[in-house]
Structure 1
Amino acid sequence: MNNQPSSAFVGATWLALIVGVLMYLVGLWNAGMALNEKGYYLTLLLYGLFAAVSLQKSTRDRMEGTPVTAMYFGLCWMSVLSAVVLIAVGLWNAAIAPSEKGFYAMAFVLSLFAAITVQKNVRDTARASAI
């Protein structure tokens, strides 16, 4: 069975990741918020990306029979949920326009989803090449 993703799908996922992260960063760069707030939102993006990819990888490892400890799997879930809750609380309390809040939320979610899909594509491509 060939699980290798099509080149169009791979390109679309990389484009989504680049657009999501780039727009989030451009929004932060142009934002009129304090530097510590910008750092908070940047850290949440990086933490969220790492947590989402780690959760996807550990979930797939479990599905394929690779041992993943329950503690690590739980930490992955906790990390993803923490990143999402922290950005939601931060945006809820931010003194910015509702349209900006929506922009950051959508760019964040797009980036996380795209990072998960890019990681899946990389793994599927590597597996198909090894066969």
Structure 2
Amino acid sequence: MENQTFNPVNVKTEKKEKEAFNGKPTPAFIAASWSALLIGMVAYCIGLWNADMLLNEKGYYFVILLFGLFSVISVQKAVRDKQEGVAVTDIYYGIAWFVTIASLVLLVIGLWNADLLLSEKGFYGMSFALSLFAAIAVQKNTRDVKFIDDQEK
């Protein structure tokens, strides 16, 4: 068993670390989140631009991206509001989850039935997933920064 002696230097260091952490995301994490969102969205859109498919198919995949991004932001907001005690109706909460799942299902159905190489299908799936995850992180960061800034005023 380790020797558990009192060390005042460690106590001071731990106290400083706890005081320094205020829940605000670091600039590096904020930049990484925005970068991931932009990379995912731009890659997905470049893939669509260069794809050998009809314009209506490109439109379908583009709308699914927009639909998915909006829906995950709604889910993140609803979950966070509930966590913080802000009133969220069950219908809104349910719809937010439903449309998120619907966007994923629509993408899977579209890719499953698409006349694309498996590598192209994987590319669209991964860039879509990256975009959705990054949108959640960006929304969370935005909300955290605003909350902390409002408390510091």
Q: CA deviation at 1:17?
A: 0.2
CA RMSD of aligned residues (A): 0.7
CA distance in 1, matches of 2:41, 2:94: 26
Is residue 22 of structure 1 aligned with residue 54 of structure 2? no
Question: Gaps (5+ residues) in structure 1?
Answer: none
Q: Which residue of 2 aligns with 1:81?
A: 101
CA distance in 2, matches of 1:9, 1:55: 21
Q: Which residue of 1 aligns with 2:130?
A: 110
CA distance in 2, matches of 1:19, 1:100: 17
Q: CA deviation at 1:127?
A: 0.7
Which deviations, in whole Å up to 9, do the C-alpha atoms of 1:54-85 show, x marking residues without a partner?
00000000000000000000000100000000
* Runs of 4+ off more than 6 Å: none
1:9-48 alignment to 2 at 5 Å? 9-48=29-68
CA distance in 2, matches of 1:110, 1:88: 15
Q: Which residue of 2 aligns with 1:96?
A: 116
Q: Which residue of 2 aligns with 1:121?
A: 141
Q: Whose radius of gyration is greater, 1 or 2? A: 2
1:55-66 alignment to 2 at 5 Å? 55-66=75-86
What secondary structure sits across from 2:23 in the alignment? coil
Question: Gaps (5+ residues) in structure 2?
Answer: 1-20
With structure 1 as the length reference, what TM-score do the two structures score?
0.99
Aligned residue pairs total: 131
